Chain A
């Protein structure tokens, strides 16, 4: 029981982190940005490359992953989203193409086989009778630190509030003196960085493989939609619902059914309540 609760908290924190980065861009264009999966995957691989293959300090590997993720976000906005003028169908499709390109790039650079990431911090601690690796614990704590920092940033800084304004009403924001273009770029970069950070943790939680991005991207999109677009609290709640659901299924039923129930939940909720569990109805 304790095991489930602790494992559930840990996985949920991870999902929340991944979902946050996605939420930032989804609340701007409402487009299904599959390339977000590419940030997750590339983040994991860059970390692997820097810290495990080149033997650099882990923090450098992590920083490198975030930097590359942010750069990818920027490039994606500059080279693809802007030229397509936000046409949602075209953006959606181009992100699919981009994600698959990045996937083959990773196969090209690192091979097809999946890789195990060494723990960020080795060791195991026993919390209330449950075995928890420092690695997972660190990942969860980092997730929460990042989530809280993001929350503070969006709520507390000028740029953060401008981001919110742009996501609600781009034209309105432009009239009141915000440069939506600049804000969009910042948002895409932050989102890319968050995706890459999430990717490092996610890969160390499961494993690193070129096709590892599909499930987390579906889950993060779903968390954002089901949680109500733009609602940070809703996102956190749904991340926990899904995290606990998965851990419970693994513990009680069978590990290989883990993703099945998540997908069923996602499909069910999206069809029954497309406005999400905590979102307002949109017209």
Chain B
């Protein structure tokens, strides 16, 4: 990806706009945006692994859930301060993911997707029954300590985290590791034939992805204040993450962000017209249609339109 001046200008405007937002919109919209920011972080995390290498993870809710549950259990059951529990949550997510999912990186394609899906399902069934005194069983853990007071501060925190994660991912993907991960997605044998240990590269992508997922999951848990197995280890969570990435554009940094905001706001906009479950049905259909029309997402659609526009003018 070549940087042009207009990229910096667009990013500058975007960041300024994000930070001015609390002046412009109401509390309700702000809460929607907070959710979009966390979804964007989950989406970036998924994209670092799956969007680049083509190893589709159906298990990201599992990673996010470990982060959330670790900080929940540490703060509520053992009285840890959040300054300690969140970093620990990140480490536990990376370690937990490593033990369970890393061996799965040796296997290919659908098998990897299946194993990650099974791991998520396993957690969904396991968390409520094992040590309910810690996990709170099906009812989960409530009254997690809040990190911020009021929607505005919660918003600044979420935006700040999202931008930090995006910047980190962007810097990383600009390096040769980013190119190599992308190359794995196109032809893994050739990467190996170029003298690189693909297992090490995939593990690295996986660890970074897990770290981001754990961190975002932990912060999200404190923002929500309550965690339950259904809210984390669920196919709908997975669906929202993957759809955000694909609708935005996999393999890019802005893509997952745009996708997350687009999907979250789409859901909000539909609310007045379709108050009930229809909303999710329509939302899913729109996602499917966009995906079938352009698997590279909104980014590619916009880019295509832009080039056509410029082509028409010159």
Please, how many angstroms separate the alpha-carbon atoms of A97 and B58 in the complex?
12
A271 and B107 contact, Cβ closer than 8 Å, known pairs A97-B239, A100-B235, A259-B125: yes
Report B-chain residues with C-beta under 8 Å of the C-beta of A100: 235-236, 239, 280, 284
A108 and B122 contact, Cβ closer than 8 Å, known pairs A30-B109, A274-B111: no
A92 and B110 contact, Cβ closer than 8 Å, known pairs A83-B292, A104-B280, A260-B125: yes
Whether B113 and A32, one on each chain, are in contact in the complex, defined by CB atoms closer than 8 angstroms, is yes
Whether A93 and B242, one on each chain, are in contact in the complex, defined by CB atoms closer than 8 angstroms, is yes
Stretch of A145-153, A161-169, A210-218 on the interface side: A210-218
Stretch of A114-122, A178-186, A197-205, A261-269 on the interface side: A261-269
- Identify the interface centre among B284, B285, B295: most chain A CB within 10 Å of its CB: B284
A266 and B118 contact, Cβ closer than 8 Å, known pairs A83-B292, A214-B235, A271-B106: yes
Q: Does B260 contact A (CB under 8 A)?
A: no
Q: Does B278 contact A (CB under 8 A)?
A: yes
Residues of chain A from 94 to 148 with CB closer than 8 A to chain B in the complex? 94, 96-101, 103-105, 107-108, 112
Whether B103 and A101, one on each chain, are in contact in the complex, defined by CB atoms closer than 8 angstroms, is no
Please, how many angstroms separate the alpha-carbon atoms of A271 and B106 in the complex?
8
The one of B114, B278, B281, B288 in contact with A32, judged by C-beta atoms closer than 8 angstroms, is: B114
The one of A89, A101, A221, A267 in contact with B284, judged by C-beta atoms closer than 8 angstroms, is: A101
Q: Does B54 contact A (CB under 8 A)?
A: yes
User: How many of A's residues come within 8 Å of B, CB to CB?
Assistant: 44
A274 and B107 contact, Cβ closer than 8 Å, known pairs A104-B277, A256-B128, A256-B129: yes
A267 and B119 contact, Cβ closer than 8 Å, known pairs A84-B292, A92-B110, A92-B113: yes
Whether B118 and A267, one on each chain, are in contact in the complex, defined by CB atoms closer than 8 angstroms, is yes
Q: Does A175 contact B (CB under 8 A)?
A: no
Q: Does B104 contact A (CB under 8 A)?
A: yes
The one of B104, B106, B125, B284 in contact with A97, judged by C-beta atoms closer than 8 angstroms, is: B284
Q: Does B115 contact A (CB under 8 A)?
A: yes
* Band of interface residues on B: 35 or more
Residue of A whose beta carbon sits closest to that of B236: A100
The one of B56, B109, B113, B125 in contact with A263, judged by C-beta atoms closer than 8 angstroms, is: B125
Please, how many angstroms separate the alpha-carbon atoms of A39 and B109 in the complex?
23
Whether A270 and B121, one on each chain, are in contact in the complex, defined by CB atoms closer than 8 angstroms, is no
Q: Does A71 contact B (CB under 8 A)?
A: no
Residues of chain A from 221 to 261 with CB closer than 8 A to chain B in the complex? 221-222, 225, 254, 256-257, 259-260
Whether A259 and B121, one on each chain, are in contact in the complex, defined by CB atoms closer than 8 angstroms, is yes
Report B-chain residues with C-beta under 8 Å of the C-beta of A105: 281
Please, how many angstroms separate the alpha-carbon atoms of A266 and B276 in the complex?
37
The one of A92, A259, A271 in contact with B103, judged by C-beta atoms closer than 8 angstroms, is: A271
Q: Does B246 contact A (CB under 8 A)?
A: yes
Residue of A whose beta carbon sits closest to that of B185: A89
Please, how many angstroms separate the alpha-carbon atoms of A92 and B239 in the complex?
12
- Identify the interface centre among B56, B110, B285: most chain A CB within 10 Å of its CB: B110
A selection of 27 A-B contacts at a CB cut-off of 8 Å is A30-B109, A30-B110, A32-B113, A80-B292, A84-B295, A89-B54, A92-B56, A92-B110, A92-B113, A96-B235, A98-B288, A100-B235, A101-B284, A101-B288, A211-B235, A214-B121, A218-B114, A218-B118, A218-B121, A221-B114, A260-B125, A260-B129, A263-B121, A263-B122, A266-B118, A267-B119, A271-B106
Q: Which 9 A-B pairs have the closest CB atoms?
A: A101-B284, A263-B122, A104-B280, A32-B110, A274-B107, A104-B281, A259-B125, A271-B103, A100-B239
